[in-house]
């Protein structure tokens, strides 16, 4: 396998060209130098280039012209733009036009070497690709084999993500390099930019082109920089916490605190103190004064996850904060005012909770100003290949692995699986596959048994999915119910409205039961495996009547 590549380096500074050429040459790479667009064009026409580094400012010329030239005539060559005076606008513009990445000067040696190493790895993966890998067709009529589609892909910053070097790869993610020198605090360590040719919006960590997700992003773009209260709904593992952080980072509050509170993980007696703080002696054990999370988030954003678990008494105080922006700490009579943007999330049906008397109606209407519903992963199966490859590359980078990609049959099985734990479960599964993988490609036999044996019938998207106003209507994924289960329905007292709900719970119950048994009924390990928190697992076990066998004890 090749351990060196041919590199085009375009910079109007001859000293930088000379020193860079000598340095990279010492690693065995061939570096071709150009100080202007004309020379760069000649080199590209006469040589086989694997990777290009281009300075954004070339004297009177513009490095963007080199980028556009390469993307139009040599789309297989990834281009990294360089600048000593980068701005977010320039970086985003470069990414939209096909730049693989955008780095600021002075360049870090390890970043350059990492770029080159990833380029070598992708070239080698392509050369190792089995011929049969070009025949898969599990999604949208064709699941492009991600190996050839990503042959020019690489990642170099601390930020997780992918990028799109040309228009033949419209659906992967991109990111820009660190631009902290010119825009401190503008974007954090985890920022990613979308380079989708048809949809370009800087939303952190989300991958894919699902219409439902795009609709969410469109709304986020309009409301991020307002003070409007936002309610995020959707199943566990769909990315509500990630989206809350993105809304904060896209707002003018980005330089202030983002405070996250998992309401469901705290006992009712402690949640009020956690949110509003307490004074000394406010209750037994209050030996010191505590500043609450609302005050910590003053000027910034507070994210209240699992808000449906809050008690009715606490809901009254939350309503007051949302309406009047003031509260008193536990044990205090002093009123404190805050300027805090509130984002809330739940995986429950709050309207149903209102009807059941578990959630205040006035609070519901107060927090339901902007409601963003994140679709479950099974509702956006066309995005699964991209997400899987994204997580694979992230684990490769973080753990020093070199897995090339997924066998098409593996992708088909991933796409047809229902993913009850959503994106978080997919991430955990891919991480396990990469860490335990012993071959360059992840094969179907590497998958967990419950994914390999998924009974869900697969039908191609072209035949079975129609999209209308951002909603996907599909009979593509059907699970024929065993006769025994149909008989079970007939023997139970189910209303016509509850039959569907009951039938949908059957595969979820089986998946959770198998996971519990595989982990010897350890709730902690089972929750980690499924990609959900323990509180959610407890609720599902109670709802689905999953009880440990006699004499079984939980292992932590």
Tens digits of residue pLDDT in 448-499:
999 998 755 433 333 333 333 333 333 333 333 333 343 444 444 444 344 4
9: which strand partners? Answer: 33, 53
444: tokens are 């179907």
> Quick one: 412 and 428 in the same domain?
yes
Query: For the CA atoms of 375, 380, 381, 385, what is the dihedral angle to 10 degrees?
Result: -100
Render pLDDT for 321-360 as a digit per residue (tens, 0 to 9): 999 999 999 988 899 999 999 999 999 999 999 999 999 9
Q: What CATH number does the domain containing 401 carry?
A: 1.10.8.60
Distance between CA atoms of residues 213 and 234, nearest Å: 12
Q: What CATH number does the domain containing 12 carry?
A: 3.40.50.2300
CA 430 to chain centre: 13
Whether the CB-CB separation of 413 and 454 falls below 8 Å is answered with yes
Range of the domain at 63: 6-206
> Quick one: 364 and 246 in the same domain?
yes
> Quick one: 221 and 315 in the same domain?
yes
> So what's the pLDDT on residue 488?
43
Report residue 292's pLDDT band, with 50, 70 and 90 as the boundaries: very high
Whether the CB-CB separation of 423 and 387 falls below 8 Å is answered with yes
Mean pLDDT of 155-170: 33
Pick from 372, 338, 373: which is nearest to 223 by CA? 372
Name the most confidently modeled range: 137-146, 260-269, 414-423, 461-470: 414-423
Q: Per mean pLDDT, which range of 245-259, 268-282, 302-316, 444-458 is the poorest? A: 444-458
> So what's the pLDDT on residue 86?
64
Pick from 166, 6, 4: which is nearest to 78 by CA? 166
Residue 186 included in any domain: yes
> Quick one: 101 and 182 in the same domain?
yes
Residue 223 included in any domain: yes
CA 493 to chain centre: 42
> Quick one: 367 and 418 in the same domain?
no
On the question of pLDDT at 56 being above 80, the answer is yes
Q: Per mean pLDDT, which range of 37-41, 175-179, 215-219, 384-388 is the poorest? A: 175-179
Distance between CA atoms of residues 286 and 277, nearest Å: 10
Q: Of 462, 494, 520, which one is at a domain's C-terminal end?
A: 462
3-class state of residue 246 by DSSP: helix
> Quick one: 369 and 381 in the same domain?
no
> Quick one: 183 and 227 in the same domain?
no
Residue 328 included in any domain: yes
Instruction: Classify residue 450 as exposed, middle or buried by CB count within 10 Å of its CB (0-12, 13-18, 19+).
Output: middle
Residue 534 included in any domain: no
Residue whose tokens read 């072209």: 462
Render pLDDT for 354-364 as a digit per residue (tens, 0 to 9): 999 999 999 99
465: which strand partners? Answer: 474
Residue 479 included in any domain: no
> Quick one: 288 and 240 in the same domain?
yes
Whether the CB-CB separation of 554 and 522 falls below 8 Å is answered with yes
Q: What CATH number does the domain containing 298 carry?
A: 3.40.50.300
Mean pLDDT of 94-116: 82
Mean pLDDT of 512-529: 81
56: tokens are 């954004």
Q: Of 319, 349, 373, which one is at a domain's C-terminal end?
A: 373
Report residue 121's pLDDT band, with 50, 70 and 90 as the boundaries: confident
Distance between CA atoms of residues 169 and 405, nearest Å: 16
3-class state of residue 32 by DSSP: strand
Residue 471 included in any domain: no
> Quick one: 188 and 301 in the same domain?
no
Residue whose tokens read 């599902």: 540
Kindly state the DSSP code that residue 427 receives in the 8-state scheme: H
What lies within 8 Å, CB to CB, of 39 at 6+ separation is 33
> Quick one: 49 and 108 in the same domain?
yes
> So what's the pLDDT on residue 1?
52
Residue 159 included in any domain: yes
Distance between CA atoms of residues 53 and 77, nearest Å: 10
Q: Of 206, 227, 248, which one is at a domain's C-terminal end?
A: 206
CA quadruple 235, 236, 241, 242: dihedral positive or negative? negative
For the chain, the C-alpha Rg in angstroms (whole number) is 26
Q: Per mean pLDDT, which range of 126-130, 374-378, 497-501, 507-511 is the poorest? A: 497-501
Distances (CA, A) of 181 to 184, 187, 507: 6, 12, 51
Distance between CA atoms of residues 53 and 80, nearest Å: 5
> Quick one: 137 and 159 in the same domain?
yes
> Quick one: 281 and 253 in the same domain?
yes
Q: How many domains does the chain have?
A: 3
> So what's the pLDDT on residue 127?
58
- Please, what's the b/e burial string for 298-317 (b: 16 or more CB within 10 A of its CB; e: otherwise)? bebbbbbbbbbbbeeebbeb
Instruction: Report the chain's mean pLDDT, rounded to a whole number.
Output: 76
On the question of pLDDT at 554 being above 80, the answer is no
* Cis peptide bond upstream of 328, omega within 30: no
Distance between CA atoms of residues 434 and 392, nearest Å: 7
Backbone angles phi, psi at 515, to 5 degrees: -65, -40
> So what's the pLDDT on residue 204?
61
Residue 155 included in any domain: yes
Whether the CB-CB separation of 459 and 137 falls below 8 Å is answered with no
> So what's the pLDDT on residue 350?
95
Distance between CA atoms of residues 406 and 409, nearest Å: 8
């Amino acid at each position: 396998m090749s351990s060196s590549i041919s590199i085009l380096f375009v910079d109007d500074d001859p000293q930088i060209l000379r020193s860079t050429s000598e340095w990279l040459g010492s690693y065995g790479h061939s570096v071709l130098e150009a100080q202007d667009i004309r020379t760069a064009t000649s080199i590209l026409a006469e040589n086989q280039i694997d990777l290009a580094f281009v300075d954004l400012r070339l004297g009177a010329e513009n490095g963007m012209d080199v980028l556009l030239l390469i993307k139009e005539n040599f789309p297989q060559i990834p281009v990294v733009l360089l600048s000593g005076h980068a701005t977010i606008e320039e970086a985003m513009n470069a990414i939209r036009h096909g730049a693989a990445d955008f780095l600021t000067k002075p360049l870090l040696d390890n970043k350059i070497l990492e770029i080159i190493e990833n380029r070598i790895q992708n070239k080698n993966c392509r050369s190792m690709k089995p011929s049969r890998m070009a025949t898969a067709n599990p999604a949208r009529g064709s699941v492009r084999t991600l190996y050839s589609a990503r042959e020019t892909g690489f990642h170099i910053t601390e930020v997780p993500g992918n990028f799109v070097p040309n228009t033949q790869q419209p659906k992967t993610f991109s990111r820009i390099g660190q631009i902290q020198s010119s825009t401190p605090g503008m974007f954090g360590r985890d920022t990613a930019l979308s380079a989708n040719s048809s949809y370009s919006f800087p939303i952190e960590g989300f991958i894919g082109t699902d219409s439902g997700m795009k609709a969410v992003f469109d709304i986020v773009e309009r409301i991020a920089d307002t003070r409007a209260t936002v309610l995020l709904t959707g199943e566990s593992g769909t990315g509500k916490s990630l989206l809350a952080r993105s809304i904060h980072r896209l707002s003018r509050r980005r330089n202030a605190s983002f405070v996250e509170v998992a309401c469901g993980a705290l006992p009712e007696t402690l949640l009020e103190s956690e949110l509003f703080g307490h004074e000394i002696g406010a209750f037994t054990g209050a030996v010191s004064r505590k500043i609450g999370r609302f005050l910590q988030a003053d000027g910034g954003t507070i994210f209240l996850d699992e808000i449906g678990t809050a008690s009715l008494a606490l809901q009254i105080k939350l309503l007051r904060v949302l309406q009047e922006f003031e509260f008193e700490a536990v044990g205090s009579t002093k009123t404190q005012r805050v300027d805090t943007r509130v984002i809330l999330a739940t995986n429950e049906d709050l309207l149903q909770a209102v009807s059941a008397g578990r959630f205040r109606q006035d609070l519901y209407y107060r927090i339901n100003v902007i409601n963003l519903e994140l679709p479950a992963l099974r509702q956006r199966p066309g995005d699964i290949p991209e997400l899987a490859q994204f997580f694979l590359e992230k684990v490769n980078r973080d753990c020093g692995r070199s897995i090339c990609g997924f066998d098409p049959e593996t992708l088909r099985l991933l796409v047809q699986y229902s993913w009850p734990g959503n994106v978080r479960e997919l991430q955990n599964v891919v991480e396990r596959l990469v860490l335990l993988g012993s071959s360059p490609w992840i094969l179907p036999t590497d998958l967990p048994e419950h994914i390999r044996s998924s009974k869900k019938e697969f039908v191609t998207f072209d035949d079975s999915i129609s999209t209308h106003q951002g909603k996907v209507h599909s009979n593509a994924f059907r699970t024929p119910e065993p006769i025994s289960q149909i008989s079970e329905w007939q023997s139970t007292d189910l209303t016509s409205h509850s039959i569907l709900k009951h039938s949908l719970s059957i595969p979820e119950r089986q998946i959770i039961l198998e996971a519990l048994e595989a982990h010897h009924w350890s709730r902690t390990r089972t929750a980690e495996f499924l990609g959900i928190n323990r509180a959610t697992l407890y609720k599902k076990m109670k709802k689905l009547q999953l009880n440990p066998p006699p004499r079984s004890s939980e292992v932590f």
